[in-house]
Amino acid sequence: MKNNRTEVLVFALDGMRFALPYENVVELLPVDGERWHSLAVMAEAGTLKGTGLALLRLSARLGLVRPGQARREAPRAGALLLIGQGGRVRGTVLLDAEPILETAEVLPIPAAVATAHMPAGEMIAGMAVLPGGTRAILLDLPIGIAATRTRPAEKLRALVVAPSGEACERQGLALRELGYEVSLADDPRAPTLSGRRYDIVLVDLDAYGAALDRLCGASRDIAPADRPRLIGIARRAGAVVPPGFDAVLVAGDTRGLVRALLRGTRAA
């Protein structure tokens, strides 16, 4: 690895300072308290419930916490990182600390030194020299992430209600990349007519905003635990969230979709 300067996220775990390349961080979401506990429990299964994404608790991967410690006291400030490239989220990482964005010079370290010091030595990509000379261990997270799952990931079902065409296919592709089993429909009555249970329904509000009573009306007869989460898709930002919907997103906003899926997620 050649010497270079790059942006990194710096944080401390168990008295050691670490850094992650910022270029692969699509979004950083602060988490603490009960929310952090829920994510730590999910990380033990390896999946971010409600999204289909792999979830890695970095401190556990580094051998700094033992299995079953998910319910220990939450850190004063933690973070959930959405990892990927080009705005596409490929996985998530839970940090037991709040990271700070810094510019660092990256220096190589011998592979033998890396593997000798930590259980996950293969993740060590070098040394990040921070302003003032402070050093942090630079970690490399593969885009495909990074988590050993203790049980198979649940296969979640999603329905995209939108006119047939490229835009509809793009929304379906985004959900498939998050691990969903996806169905496409161009009729707002589809959730009821299909007879299937969906975990999430995306609705093109520009095309079917006037027909929402048919979709939401049918949902009122479904038990709350079985109702799908409704997310609207619009061409322009600032659209009003219809009654019964969790959010309205701009078409193609993958990061916003992940954030919407995270809202209200609870550990099993």
Q: DSSP letter string over 29-91?
A: EEE-HHHHHHHHHHHHHTEETTTTEEEEEHHHHTTSS-TT-TTSPPPSSEEEEEEEETTEEEE
CATH number at residue 202: 3.40.50.2300
**What is residue 259's predicted lDDT score, i.e. its pLDDT?**
74
pLDDT band at 228 (very low <50, low <70, confident <90, very high): confident
Instruction: Report the relative pairing of strands 100-107 and 4-13 from DSSP bridges.
Output: antiparallel
Distance CA 157, CA 39 (A): 21
What CA–CA distance (Å, rounded) separates 253 from 75? 31
Contact 11, 97 (CB under 8 A): yes
Q: Are residue 8 and residue 135 in the same domain, yes or no?
A: yes
Of 86, 105, 139, the domain-final residue = 139
| Residue 179 falls inside a structural domain | yes
Q: How many CA atoms lie within 13 A of 60 on its CB side?
A: 24
Burial of 161 (0-12, 13-18, 19+ CB in 10 A): buried
Please tell me whether residues 205 and 168 are part of one structural domain: yes
Cα distance from N-terminal residue to C-terminal residue, the chain:
42
Here the tokens at position 169 are 């296919």
Instruction: Report yes or no: 98 and 11 within 8 Å, Cβ to Cβ.
Output: yes
- List, in sequence order, every residue forming a beta bridge with 80; answer none if it has no partner: 29, 94
Strand order in the sheet with 181-185: 181-185, 157-161, 200-204, 229-234, 247-250
pTM of the model: 0.65
Do 100 and 163 reside in the same domain of the chain? no
230 and 133 in a common domain: no
152-199 per-position pLDDT tens digit: 445 678 889 888 887 788 888 878 877 788 888 888 777 777 667 888
Tens digits of residue pLDDT in 12-39: 988 888 999 999 898 899 988 888 888 9
The angle formed by the CA atoms of residues 5, 17 and 38, to the nearest 5 degrees, is 115
Q: Are residues 131 and 29 in the same domain?
A: yes
Percentage above 90 pLDDT, the chain: 12
In a domain, 108, yes or no: yes
Residue range 134-140: mean pLDDT, rounded: 88
Contact predicate 28/9, CB 8 Å? yes
Q: Is residue 33 part of a domain?
A: yes
Nearest alpha-carbon partner for 56 in 72, 44, 69, 74: 44
Residue 233 lies in a domain: yes
Q: Give residue-wise pLDDT tens across range 215-227.
A: 655 554 555 556 7
Q: Residue 124 in 3-state DSSP? A: strand
Residue range 57-105, pLDDT digits in tens? 998 888 887 655 555 666 778 999 998 887 788 889 999 999 999 999 9
pLDDT of 73: 65
Is residue 166 located within the same domain as residue 131? no
Most confident stretch, 67-76, 103-112, 124-133, 205-214: 124-133
76 and 165: one domain?
Answer: no
* Mean pLDDT of the region 126-143: 84
My answer on whether 20 and 89 are in the same domain is yes
| Domain end residue (candidates: 112, 139, 166) | 139
* Mean pLDDT of all residues belonging to the chain: 78
Helices (H), the chain: 33-45, 58-61, 111-117, 166-177, 190-193, 205-208, 212-219, 254-262
Give the domain range for residue 257. Answer: 157-262
Tell me, what's the pLDDT at 222?
A: 55
Residues 9 and 104 in one domain: yes
Which residues have a Cβ under 8 Å from the Cβ of 205 and sit 6 or more positions away? 212, 232, 233, 234, 239, 242, 248
Query: What's the number of domains the chain is made of?
Result: 2
